[in-house]
A and B are shown apart, each in its own frame.
Chain A
Amino acid sequence: MVEFLQFTLSGIVFGMIYAAVALSLVLIWRGTRLLNYAQGGMAMFTTYVAIEVIYRTGSYWAGFVVALAAGIVLGAAFQVSVIRPTMNKPPLNGVIVTIGLLTLLEGLAGIFFGGQYRSFPAAFSVTGLKIGTTPLGVSRFDVFTAAAVLVTTLALAAAFKYTTAGLRMRAAAFNATIARLSGIRVARVLTIGWALAGLIGALAGVLVSPSTFLYPNSMDTIFVFGFTAAVIGGLDSPVGAVVGGLLLGIALSYVGGYLGSDLTAAVALGVLVVVLMIRPGGLFSATRVRRV
Chain B
Amino acid sequence: MSSGAEVAPAGAHESSTLVVEELVAGYGGVIALDGVSISAGAAAITAVLGANGAGKTTLLRAISGMIRPRRGRVLLGGADLAGRNPEQMVRAGIAHVPEGQGVIAELTVEENLRVGMMSWRGAMRRPPAGAGQARAANSRAERAAALDEAYERFKPLADRRRKLAATLSGGERQMLVIARALLARPRVLLLDEPSLGLAPRVMTQVMDLVVQLSRENGLTIVLVEQNARVALAIADHGVVLNLGRVVASADARTLAADVALRHHYLGF
Contacts and interface: CB of A to CB of B under 8 A. Distances in A.
Interface in A167-186: 167-168, 170-171, 174-175, 177-186
B119 A182 contact: yes
Given A182-B116, A182-B119, A174 B86 contact: no
B104 A171 contact: yes
Given A168-B118, A175-B102, A292-B166, A181 B107 contact: no
B87 A184 contact: yes
A190 to B, nearest CB: 13
A184 B115 contact: yes
Interface residues of A, number: 21
A22 B98 CA distance: 34
A167 B98 contact: no
B34 interface: no
A164 interface: yes
A79 to B, nearest CB: 18
B85 interface: yes
Contact of A182 (B105, B118, B166): B118
A184 B91 CA distance: 10
Interface string B77-106: 000000001110011000110100010111
A131 B237 CA distance: 82
A289 B180 contact: no
B106 A290 contact: yes
Nearest to A164: B114
Contact of B86 (A164, A167, A181, A286): A181
Nearest to B110: A167
Contacts of A178: 98, 102, 104, 115
B95 A181 contact: yes
Given A167-B111, A167-B114, A289 B106 contact: yes
Contacts of B115: 167-168, 171, 178-179, 182, 184
B98 A292 contact: no
Contact of B90 (A168, A177, A183): A183
Contacts of A175: 102, 104
Contact of B123 (A170, A179, A183, A290): A183
Nearest to B97: A181
Interface string A259-292: 0000000000000000000000000001001101
Q: Name, among A170, A178, A183, A292, the residue most crowded by chain B CB atoms within 10 Å (CB to CB).
A: A183
15 contacts: A164-B118, A167-B115, A168-B115, A170-B111, A177-B102, A178-B102, A179-B115, A179-B118, A180-B86, A181-B86, A181-B95, A181-B96, A182-B184, A183-B87, A183-B90
